Structure 1
């Protein structure tokens, strides 16, 4: 039986947070990449909802959540996860974080370890200092709306070669919601990732590191990440398990939901 996925908002002192929720069973929080939204988990939630209580939130400043009134740090984003758990009366949960969401999920595991059962880090790439600077460059001003509309085509062409038409349309819709304002999640990652390895050494809960074999390609293309910087998670979390998704791209949660759901359920159900 299909479990309906409902949509709602959480009121906070910094604005409203949009989230999707559905299903029953053990709670699983899903945190998306930048500049996506909870739409990244649309397919995955439908598969997981019959077995788990799945909750996907739009990080503040992205999707349908409000832009926070100040620049948010990864720690600030982690606090919003706890606010949502408190609102829903959830004492403990597992968390799956994709890229940006993975950094936030890791910080939740460190700062609020008593609230977490298990942690899944999906395509959480490592960046050196030079890459981190590139990652944050330009995002303090955000994307610019252009009078001739050329900004629309620019965003369309960024990923079309590896995501396909339908998914690219969904990406662009999320892109457009970030125009004309700073993208705080990208700035937060650029500042946090340099010290993330030391921070993640404090993670004690069972952890799965899930990586697509093709996920690094677009970041390498733009000089944002190098292959030699990608061993940091296994070094920081030596007790973690690692799974490679053959052919998985940076968008594999949308593109390969059946494969991802199998990996997720196998890990969550393992005692």
Structure 2
């Protein structure tokens, strides 16, 4: 059978044709799904590798963005600090006073604190003592209440225990400015009914209490009215600074008195002969011994006559 089929195939070629067509079809049905699978796998791998690279790039970009944000925040903080310190340096201390900057390290501790205070990082080691004036670029903040070696507590002008004599810049109306606590306007007491004080006037220190220099701005008049049978006007005022935004303040200190000039040396009134006098006298004597005989003065004694001595 094999030889017959082989001989028939040689003569007709049907077996070869059938085998070739059948093999091609089988190859096609085998290779097409494999090619499809290979294409999908290669595409998935390429996308996976691409996504991995994109993910790594995104993580790098996120890190760079976070670092840039940190640098931006730091730069803004430095710019804000520089502006605040510049404002402090622009505070011109009154004559015979000096200025020293200080940082606020703590505000009033707890909502039930009794005093409107904050803590600064300067103490007695920096010559900060009780009643040292504390100011901000806007105006007077308060005075030192307690001081330790390296810290001090500042009593703000808004505290009810703060009473400062002030005068208005425009009408020159005097009174006592008293604090009323956090968030409350201050009161200007003992203002006569005939006073010409108006809202918007700036209240400055008078220096009569012996703590603050004269002429420092302290508050702005917000309201003026008269109630009942009171003998004085009701004058409300608002502090020039914001207690919640205090970060740096300036301390005013009295400059040390100038050193007295050295006393001028008094002239020597002793009877001692000057040092060069004896030298000049000896020089004159020496010069007289060395002069020739004819230059010396003649003696006034008369000569004896001949034979007179015999």
RCO comparison, higher one (Cα < 8 Å, 6+) = 1
TM-score by length of 1: 0.25
TM-score by length of 2: 0.23
Give the structure with the higher percent helix: 1
Q: Give 1 or 2 for the bigger CA radius of gyration.
A: 2
